[in-house]
Structure 1
Amino acid sequence: MTRRTQQERREATVAKLVDATISAIVELGYHRTSVQAICGRAGLSVGAMFRQFDSRLDLVVAAVEEVVARHLAHFREHLAALAAEEDVITASLRFLRQATGSPLTHVLREVLIAARTEQELRSRVRPTIHRYYSAIFADAEHAGVLAPLPPEHRENVVHMMVHLFSGEALITGVDPRPEQAEAQLQLARRMLLTLAGTD
């Protein structure tokens, strides 16, 4: 059996810590995700964590970067299929709703809510979040998913729809109204078709 190098061991430890941070934030929320909770999930000592990260904040920032990377990979994986749909607007809205309701997106929401009042967290995650939204728009534009919409409105539409379904996912956790879900999606679809000039 080949022994792992020190770099490989370090990368494995970092991956365990990042995965444990993501898992803890999903289950416990941002504020209850302590270093002890993370290390317990990772099966590592607190000392092992501090050998890799200087602070809990550094680890949270690494977790946010990993969540964004996973989200973008998932999005890119599905873009070709979305672009090939006969009704690309409806298919895109359904995909967006599913993606914004995923546990990974809950991690981003937890961190963004905390960042509203924690200046250091806000400044540390801002570049990653900015890059995330820019990449979503650029990838959707490149894949042709936004082609039915007027070019001057495309970026705003992407942001509005992400925020619409992200807000819906947040409220649904407290006050689910499944009977309204399809009607709201169809209303969003009609609004976009009107904007596209095809309704």
Structure 2
Amino acid sequence: MATVAKLVDATIAAIGEVGYQRTTVQEICGRAGLSAGAMFRQFDTRLDLIVRTAEEVFARQLVGYTATMEHLGAQDNPIDVALRFLRGAQRSNLSHALREIYLAARSDAELRERLAPIAENYYREIVATLERIGLLADYPARVREPLFFLLLHVFSGEAVVRGVYQRPDLDESVLRLVEDMLAVYAAHGGAPEV
């Protein structure tokens, strides 16, 4: 299992730093300090390693999300803490690697098919945690999951653009704007049914 862990860690690092397409078997093995033969003793194909890596990324992120969410009740402003965590998580190498894998899956049917159930379970668990801890209890039930995805994708998109166009001077004002929008939305009981 130590070999698998080295390969997965090397794959996460490589995909996050050089992108999915340039994360070759040679790149992974070089980073892991292992031979290609050692990799192929653990995984039949590069795709198998990529899928295992995605599983590990999802698992690590889920642990981080859950741990953060479990401690929100002790915070003065749990929404602010949750948003800052979500933004930071989207800027991490784990999230960069996951985005690269998602982009590759758009044009790789086998990768997409293998990732879909893993991603579905991951997001289902995050949403269940949000429901259990009641972070979004001020919002109608019908909008809680879409609201989570909206916020996730705002910060995910911000993290992508940040690689080319950095505006750290806007970080706090964007966060304040999101928090203000959430507060106004909650105060008005959410949008009317359509």
Work out the CA distance in 2 between the residues paired with 1:113 and 1:176: 22
List gaps (5 residues or longer) in structure 1.
Answer: 1-10
Work out the CA distance in 2 between the residues paired with 1:78 and 1:89: 11
Match for residue 48 of structure 1?
38
TM-score by length of 2: 0.92
Query: How do 1:75-86 and structure 2 match up within 5 A?
Result: 75-86=65-76
How far the C-alpha of 1:81 sits from its partner, in A, is 2.1
Query: Which of 60, 78, 98 is equivalent to 1:70?
Result: 60
Work out the CA distance in 2 between the residues paired with 1:151 and 1:196: 12
Contact 1:93 1:185 in 2 (8 A): yes
* 1:119-156: CA deviation from partner (whole Å, max 9, x where unpaired): 21111111111112111111111112122222221111
Match for residue 103 of structure 1?
93
SS at the partner of 2:139?
Answer: coil
State the aligned residue count: 189
Query: Which of 72, 76, 81 is equivalent to 1:91?
Result: 81
Query: How do 1:20-39 and structure 2 match up within 5 A?
Result: 20-39=10-29
Q: Percent identity?
A: 51
Contact 1:133 1:159 in 2 (8 A): no
Structure 1 counterpart of 2:83, which letter? L
Structure 2 counterpart of 1:63, which letter? T
Match for residue 13 of structure 1?
3
* 1:83-142: CA deviation from partner (whole Å, max 9, x where unpaired): 322322222111111111111111111111111112211111111111121111111111
Work out the CA distance in 2 between the residues paired with 1:83 and 1:99: 20
Query: Which of 168, 183, 190 is equivalent to 2:173?
Result: 183
TM-score by length of 1: 0.90
List gaps (5 residues or longer) in structure 2.
Answer: 190-194
SS at the partner of 1:31?
Answer: coil
* 1:41-81: CA deviation from partner (whole Å, max 9, x where unpaired): 11111111111111000000000000110111111111122
Q: Does 1:112 align with 2:102?
A: yes
Work out the CA distance in 1 between the residues paired with 2:76 and 2:137: 13
Match for residue 139 of structure 2?
149
Query: Which of 160, 164, 178 is equivalent to 2:154?
Result: 164
Contact 2:47 2:111 in 1 (8 A): yes
